[in-house]
A = this chain, B = another copy of it.
Amino acid sequence: MEKKKLAVIALSGGMDSCVTAAIANQDYNLALLHINYGQKTENRELTAFHDIAEFYNAEKKMVIEFTHFQKIGGSSLTDKNIEISKADLENKEIPTSYVPFRNANILSACVSWAEVIDAEAIFIGAVYEDSSGYPDCRPDFFSAFEQVINLGTKPQTQIKIETPIIYMKKSEIIQKGLELNAPFSLTWSCYQNEEEACGVCDSCALRLRAFQELGLEDPIPYKTRPNYAKKQQEQ
């Protein structure tokens, strides 16, 4: 059997990155990278990361501490003085959960690791259209970053960025995950709580709505499960 190539996967432990790992797992051996950046649900996300890594029997895994996002602040995810806002899925403004330029920081660390371990691709579970409107989730951002990789690494280094779910709706991501047997029960998406998902932050709302649209039950525990799909139909 031909030895599979190696890819670095940015794995937060959320649903999107888990499905992204499931997709990468079809063609690559996995080098899973998790970043603690002082987000409020850091411990729960880290548990999800290790559980998913075990599920996929990852070839390599690495956990990194980014201390600067908490020092820098400017986001409800990292600054305890900024409240996690309740979801407003119709709002087109950049939400308070935007962590400034987070994906560039994450990708940069992925590239550093990928260059040393000879990985050929970096997978990141960014979602553009059906997402919270973070500027660093735009497809153009990733194309431009790929150009930066070409210019800023050794001539022999060839690393592409793969964003396999960027154009998917959340419900399509779930369908893709089901098709690939992704372990949704091990994932964690909530921005606010660590024991039961809050059910009302942006991240919970997007996830719950998608499961509801498909007529499925999200297998993780929630404190409350508002019916987001119904609310939308009523409008």
Contacts and interface: CB of A to CB of B under 8 A. Distances in A.
A116 B73 contact: yes
Interface stretch (A9-17, A142-150, A218-226): A142-150
A67 to B, nearest CB: 5
A100 B72 contact: no
Copies of this chain in the oligomer: 2
A147 B136 CA distance: 12
Interface centre among A73, A99, A101, A103 (most CB of B within 10 A): A101
Contacts of A73: 116
Contacts of A214: none
B65 A67 contact: yes
B67 A71 contact: no
Contact of A72 (B69, B101, B116, B152): B116
A47 interface: no
A136 to B, nearest CB: 4
Interface residues of A, number: 42
A144 B151 contact: yes
A24 B135 CA distance: 28
Interface string A126-156: 0000000001101011001101110111110
16 contacts: A62-B72, A64-B71, A72-B113, A72-B116, A98-B154, A100-B115, A101-B111, A101-B112, A104-B149, A135-B155, A136-B151, A138-B151, A141-B152, A144-B151, A145-B148, A148-B148
Given A62-B71, A64-B68, A144-B144, A104 B100 contact: no
Interface of A: 62, 64-65, 67-69, 71-74, 94, 98-105, 107-109, 111-113, 115-116, 135-136, 138, 140-141, 144-145, 147-149, 151-155
